[in-house]
């Protein structure tokens, strides 16, 4: 496994065999868990070379405390990647990607970037897309792998590739979960055992919707809201039932597997998101 800290060294290495190799790319912010590792495994199945980036991107945090508290253990992450035989890890410093005082790029993703995460985390998607565009230009991967847990991010990356007009295939990989159903997340490390247990309400609500689709959109959204109102420690930020293609709210179901239920909630000041496609 090769580890590069500078884009110049990484691109020099990649340029030597780019014509004959398919390159899979998995961007991460570290604190790797089994969800990230599943992305690496999928990349290794599909591509001859797999690259994982580890970079906590300051430009996509609208909360400075969230950025400061984000879990970070590079040595542990590198050990996990080594065990999976990840080919290349790119661990840049901020100044390797951003010029001094560089501003985020302003993208136009239409309504897709202004709802749900875009509404409650202003500037987040411009910051995320800014760094992903940089990574795509540096690495020029054949395929890039993203977790379905961050469904809105996944859809925006697809829109970004369309805007860039580049032939990168974006692959969404199903959410990996804890035994109790909680979606795997780096932020789970910040939760107590009790908080993890209480946070399973998110998945229970999603699962209820999956099994009670016949009740209709409005009734299921109300069900989720009422379940959260019964909790002392969980605070619902949003629960939206949307079209999968554009994530805009719907009032009645679209075709099978073209609907998404998305939830964001806080517990112990830790923000969690999850979704289910149905």
Which active-site residues does the annotation give? 36
Q: Which of 170, 6, 172, 166 is nearest to 88 (CA)?
A: 6
CB-based burial label for 250 (10 Å; 0-12, 13-18, 19+): middle
Q: Which of 26, 32, 35 is nearest to 183 (CA)?
A: 35
Q: Cα–Cα distance between 125 and 138 in angstroms, integer?
A: 20
Cβ atoms of 265 and 272 closer than 8 Å:
yes
Q: Report helix angle 124-139 to 7-15, nearest 10.
A: 40
Query: What does the longest C-alpha to C-alpha distance in the chain come to?
Result: 59
Q: Cα–Cα distance between 236 and 224 in angstroms, integer?
A: 9
What spatial distance separates the first Cα and last Cα of the chain, rounded to whole Å?
A: 39
Q: Which of 157, 234, 170, 172 is nearest to 203 (CA)?
A: 234
């Amino acid at each position: 496994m090769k580890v590069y800290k500078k884009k110049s060294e990484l691109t020099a290495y990649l340029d030597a065999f780019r014509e004959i190799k398919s390159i899979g790319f998995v961007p991460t912010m570290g604190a790797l868990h089994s969800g990230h590792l599943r992305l690496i495994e999928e990349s290794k199945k599909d591509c001859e070379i797999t690259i994982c980036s580890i970079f906590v991107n300051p430009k996509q945090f609208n909360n400075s405390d969230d950025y400061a508290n984000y879990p970070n253990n590079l040595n542990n992450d590198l050990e996990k990647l080594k065990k999976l035989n990840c080919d290349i890890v790119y661990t840049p410093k901020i100044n390797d990607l951003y010029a001094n005082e560089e501003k985020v790029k302003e993208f136009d993703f239409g309504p897709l970037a202004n709802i749900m995460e875009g509404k409650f985390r202003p500037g987040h998607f411009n910051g995320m897309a800014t760094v992903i565009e940089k990574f795509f230009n540096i690495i020029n991967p054949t395929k890039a792998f993203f977790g379905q847990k961050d469904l809105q991010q996944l859809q925006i990356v697809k829109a970004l590739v369309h805007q860039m007009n580049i032939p990168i295939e974006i692959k969404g990989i199903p959410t990996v979960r804890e035994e109790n159903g909680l979606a795997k997340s780096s932020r789970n490390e910040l939760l107590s055992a009790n908080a993890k247990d209480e946070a399973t309400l998110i998945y229970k609500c999603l699962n209820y919707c999956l099994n009670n689709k016949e009740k209709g959109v409005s009734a299921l959204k109300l069900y989720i809201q009422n379940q959260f109102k019964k909790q002392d420690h969980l605070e619902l930020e949003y629960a939206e039932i949307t079209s999968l293609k554009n994530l805009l709210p719907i009032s009645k179901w679209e075709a099978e597997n073209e609907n998404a239920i998305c939830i964001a909630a806080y517990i112990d000041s830790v923000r969690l998101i999850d979704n289910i496609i149905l």
